[in-house]
């Protein structure tokens, strides 16, 4: 196809011989030649022109082998179908598709459905070779002869896009319909034939369509050329399929199976199998001879989904089309007259309401797409959407359900305290496997938001949202200090007023603690447990901000952090997934990048990629790792720790973690882990998308920690990830010793203050 000069009806054709003849015909004056001579002249010219065009068309159909598409994908039955993402237990997690289609083999099409298709569309299908020549006289009988003659002599006026066509629609065999939908619409080089068919403009640069357009108009020319190409490719497809499968009968069966799998059936359903499930809530294979009415409905939909697909609004057209198809089935001997009358008495089935459902793992789908684009050069999201590959993920459906419910419960608790925030407050959660950073569950937002259920195309707040981490950044500061070697958990550090340059500006910013108090010299573990801001800044000044930034990168934080002291308090923005991975690394001592795809399988069931993850030990001294693990365990166990609510009989799970609350209570966070490579890490963040305040005292411990608590309880109660790993006995004993000493010191201090001076 070319991009020749735009031809519209009414333009003069000056560079083509046949159109020139047509122009000459139109210039003849009947008065000068006489009516008889005009008629004879017209007949002769019309005969010559028609003969020439027929010769060109005949050669093109039967002898032209140029510009043929690749039959391979068609023969291999490689139609776009449904892509699946499976969970960690190989159970379907979600289906994704551009065209919701189920591939159906010939033997899986019930005989009653085959009969309905043949009766409605192509009763001679198994006997012809792609074109049913027996119906040509009937088709020609529908040609608008008057309009054709008027057009030839120049009396037809301009083309009407919405006006009656010279040539009729219909008369296509099953093979022709398949060729039109598969090759002429979707393949490069042929798609313009169908796209321009209802246009009165012609952009073809070859002889035949240009010549025809001058004689019969661009619209009719396009229809005729498309039909010729359809016939040519249909004959070619049947020959190729016969060569491929070894017999005409087998080739026909394969073509019928492709038709039954490919055809659009309305409501985004493709193929008879998907349509049977959608409209009747029945697998196609279950239809029997007693379901002739349903088979006839399906065959009618294929004729025109727009008009004949069942719906609650329109049943009259569907009923008439069904009964017409049933009549054809009886006429061709596919069903008896008794079965016909019985089927005609049945009402059109009421289509079940297909309401939108909450996608349990919408964020996981988005993450799978991103990982396909970023880490797997041989595959992309379109391969999954078209069903060419199937993805096996690390996500455990049981954990995902627990995460979803816990987030919703946490948001509901906040909404009870703030009714005006109902439906507006947002949150995100991610759960990682400690040993290799496999994503066990991920939710990028609440399941129902802004009047609809979440979709995988929605904003994923786990991987996309850059927000301040608040005090969850402090453990990275402490780990950097331990790595430097001058600090341990018993080091006395100053909790006292301290100032820092305000973000590189010429002003000074004084640092305060959340309780507005300073406690003087305190043990470092107490400063970490109580999240003392002044101490975190002081330590950062002692070791240098560069050490903090370097440690964050070592732990897996890839987002660049600002080289200012306030970064120690969480002033720089990070993604929740990065923050979760940093805590996972601290809990396990293993470097790994979070991932969600564990295996990719082609549609041929061939494993295309089996991904091994995990990595070397993190570049941190073992002693430093042990110290930060003990320090984060102390955040839970020390009575004044911000996560001490997790140290109770109602929560029999040994965890370590840290709360986080950003400036003006805009975000509330909690990130925590169970111990070691066999544990898990869960990160929770709750806040408004517009960054408004959650309200006074709505801290990480109050808003996000309950979500973490519910997740951990659910996961370990159900024994999904094994038993709860125990912290080293020495670590627990060290905390016990501190608690005992702190208790004695506290009692002595009380006694001292109570005694008379």
What is the helix, strand, coil percentage profile of the chain, to 5?
Answer: 50, 15, 40
Q: pLDDT value at position 618?
A: 64
Mean pLDDT of 501-529: 88
pLDDT surpassing 60 at residue 643: yes
* Least confident interval from 111-125, 126-140, 412-426, 534-548: 126-140
Count of H-run helices and E-run strands, the chain: 29, 20
Q: Which of the residue ranges 134-148, 172-186, 194-208, 664-678 has the most confident prediction, judged by mean pLDDT? A: 664-678
Give the pLDDT confidence score for residue 609 in this predicted structure.
63
Question: Distance (Å, rounded) from C-alpha 221 to C-alpha 241?
Answer: 30
CA–CA gap between residue 188 and residue 283 (Å, rounded): 35
pLDDT of residue 263: 94
Question: How wide is the angle at C-alpha 234 spanned by C-alphas 168 and 75, nearest 5°?
Answer: 140
pLDDT 10s digits, 97-134: 888 999 999 999 999 999 999 999 999 999 999 998 88
Q: How far is CA 283 from the centre of its chain?
A: 25
Reported confidence tier of residue 748, pLDDT bands at 50, 70, 90: low
Mean pLDDT of 728-750: 79
pLDDT digits (tens, 9 = 90+) for 446-479: 988 878 888 777 899 999 999 999 999 999 999 9
597/393 Cα distance (integer angstroms): 5
pLDDT at 490: 96
Query: What pLDDT does 687 receive?
Result: 97
pLDDT of residue 431: 98
Average pLDDT over residues 225-240: 89
> Binning pLDDT at 50, 70 and 90, where does residue 66 land?
confident
Q: Please, which contacts does 706-709 make with residues 24 or more away whose CB atoms are closer than 8 Å?
A: 706/409, 706/410, 706/413, 707/406, 707/407, 707/409, 707/410, 707/427, 707/429, 707/670, 708/646, 708/657, 708/670, 708/672, 708/682, 708/684, 709/645, 709/646, 709/651
Confidence of residue 148 (pLDDT cuts 50, 70, 90): low
Both structure tokens of 398: 């049981």
pLDDT for 3 equals: 37
Alpha-carbon distance of 105 to 108, in angstroms, equals: 5
pLDDT of res. 193: 54
**Residues 371/577, Cβ–Cβ less than 8 Å:** no
pTM check: above 0.95 = no
CA distance to 4, 180, 225, 243, 641, per residue, from 56 (Å): 20, 21, 11, 27, 89
Q: How far apart are CA 524 and CA 669, in angstroms?
A: 22
Residue 6 has pLDDT above 90, yes or no: no
Q: What does pLDDT average to over the chain?
A: 85
**In the prediction, which pLDDT does 36 show?**
73
How far is residue 695's CA from residue 702's CA, in Å, rounded to a whole number?
A: 11
**Does residue 557 have a pLDDT over 60?**
yes
* pLDDT value of position 98: 86
pLDDT for res 526 = 97
- Place 172 in a pLDDT band, splitting at 50, 70 and 90: confident
Nearest Cα neighbor of 4 from 198, 209, 188, 229 is 209
Confidence of residue 376 (pLDDT cuts 50, 70, 90): confident
Judge whether residue 8 has pLDDT over 50: no
Give the Cα separation of 221 and 234 in Å (integer).
20
For residues 639-668, give the mean pLDDT.
Answer: 96
Is the pLDDT at 316 greater than 90? The verdict is: no
Work out the average pLDDT over 252-265. Answer: 96
Mean pLDDT of 231-249: 94
Please check the confidence at residue 625 and state whether its pLDDT lies above 70: yes
* Residue 745: per-residue pLDDT: 55
pLDDT at 67: 78
Mean pLDDT comparison of 348-352, 555-559, 629-633, highest-scoring range: 629-633
pLDDT over threshold 80, residue 212: no
Residue 628 makes CB contacts below 8 A (sequence gap 6+) with: 475, 478, 479, 482, 586
Under the banding of pLDDT at 50, 70 and 90, the label for residue 646 is: very high
* Distance from C-alpha of 263 to C-alpha of 50, rounded to nearest angstrom: 35
Share above pLDDT 90 across residues of the chain, in percent, rounded to a whole number: 63
**Has residue 191 got a pLDDT over 50?**
no
């Amino acid at each position: 196809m070319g991009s020749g000069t735009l031809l519209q009806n009414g333009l003069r054709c000056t560079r083509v011989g046949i159109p020139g003849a047509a122009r000459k015909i139109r210039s003849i004056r009947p008065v000068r030649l006489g009516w008889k001579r005009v008629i004879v002249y017209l007949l002769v010219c019309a005969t010559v022109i028609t003969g020439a065009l027929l010769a060109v068309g005949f050669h093109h159909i039967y002898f032209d082998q140029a510009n043929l598409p690749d039959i391979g994908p068609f023969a291999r039955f490689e139609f776009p179908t449904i892509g699946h993402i499976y969970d960690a237990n190989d159970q379907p997690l979600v289906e994704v598709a551009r065209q919701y289609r189920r591939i159906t083999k010939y033997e899986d099409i019930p005989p009653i459905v085959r009969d309905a298709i043949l009766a409605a569309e192509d009763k001679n299908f198994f006997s012809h070779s792609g074109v049913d020549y027996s119906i040509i006289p009937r088709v020609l009988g529908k040609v608008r002869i008057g309009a054709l003659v008027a057009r030839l002599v120049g009396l037809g006026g301009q083309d009407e896009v919405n006006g009656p066509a010279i040539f009729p629609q219909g008369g296509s065999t099953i093979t022709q319909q398949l060729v039109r939908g598969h090759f002429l619409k979707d393949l490069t080089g042929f798609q313009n034939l169908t796209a321009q068919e209802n246009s009165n403009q012609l952009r073809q640069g070859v002889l035949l369509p240009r010549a025809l357009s001058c004689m019969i108009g661009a619209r009719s020319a396009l229809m005729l050329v498309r039909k010729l190409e359809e016939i040519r490719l249909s004959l070619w497809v049947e020959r190729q399929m016969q060569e491929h499968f070894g017999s005409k009968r087998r080739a026909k069966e394969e073509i019928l199976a492709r038709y039954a799998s490919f055809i659009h059936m309305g409501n985004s359903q493709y193929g008879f199998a998907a349509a049977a499930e959608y409209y009747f809530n029945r697998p196609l294979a279950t239809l029997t001879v007693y379901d002739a009415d349903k088979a006839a409905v399906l065959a009618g939909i294929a004729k025109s989904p727009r008009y004949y697909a069942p719906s609650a609004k329109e049943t009259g057209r569907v009923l008439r089309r069904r009964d017409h198809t049933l009549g054809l089935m009886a006429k061709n001997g596919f069903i008896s007259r008794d079965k016909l009358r019985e089927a005609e008495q049945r009402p059109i089935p009421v289509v079940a309401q297909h309401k939108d459902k909450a996608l349990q793992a919408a964020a996981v789908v988005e993450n799978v797409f991103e990982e396909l684009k970023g880490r797997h050069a041989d595959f992309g999201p379109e391969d999954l959407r078209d069903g060419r590959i199937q993805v096996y993920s690390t996500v455990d459906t049981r954990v995902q359900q627990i995460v979803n419910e816990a987030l919703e419960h946490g948001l509901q608790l906040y909404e009870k305290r703030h009714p005006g925030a109902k439906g507006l407050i947002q949150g995100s959660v991610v759960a990682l496997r400690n040993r290799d950073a496999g994503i066990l569950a991920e939710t990028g937002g609440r399941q129902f938001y802004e009047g609809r259920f979440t979709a995988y195309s929605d904003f994923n707040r786990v991987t996309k949202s850059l927000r301040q981490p608040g005090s969850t950044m402090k453990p990275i500061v402490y780990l950097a200090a331990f790595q430097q070697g001058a600090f341990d958990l018993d080091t006395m550090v100053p909790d006292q007023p301290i100032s820092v340059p305000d973000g590189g500006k010429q002003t000074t910013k004084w640092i305060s603690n959340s309780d507005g108090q300073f406690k003087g010299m305190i043990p470092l573990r107490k400063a970490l447990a109580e999240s003392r801001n002044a101490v975190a800044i002081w330590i950062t000044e002692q070791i240098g901000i560069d050490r903090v930034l370097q440690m964050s990168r070592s732990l897996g934080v890839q987002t660049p952090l600002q080289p200012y002291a306030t970064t120690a308090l969480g002033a720089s923005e990070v993604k929740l997934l990065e923050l979760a991975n940093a805590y996972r690394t601290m809990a396990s001592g293993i470097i790994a990048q979070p991932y969600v795809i564990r295996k990719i399988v082609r549609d041929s069931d061939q494993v295309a990629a089996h991904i091994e993850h995990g990595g070397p030990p993190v570049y941190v001294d073992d002693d430093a790792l042990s110290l930060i693990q003990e320090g984060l365990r102390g955040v839970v166990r020390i009575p004044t720790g911000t996560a001490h609510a997790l140290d109770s009989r109602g929560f029999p799970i040994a965890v370590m973690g840290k709360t986080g609350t950003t400036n003006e209570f805009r975000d509330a966070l909690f990130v925590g882990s169970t111990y070691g490579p066999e544990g898990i890490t869960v990160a929770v963040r709750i806040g408004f998308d517009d960054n408004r305040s959650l309200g006074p005292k709505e801290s990480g411990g109050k808003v996000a920690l309950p979500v973490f608590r519910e997740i951990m309880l659910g996961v370990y109660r159900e024994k999904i990830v094994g038993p709860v790993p125990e912290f080293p006995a020495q670590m627990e004993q060290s905390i016990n010793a501190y608690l005992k000493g702190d208790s004695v010191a506290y009692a002595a201090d009380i006694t001292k203050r109570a005694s008379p001076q």
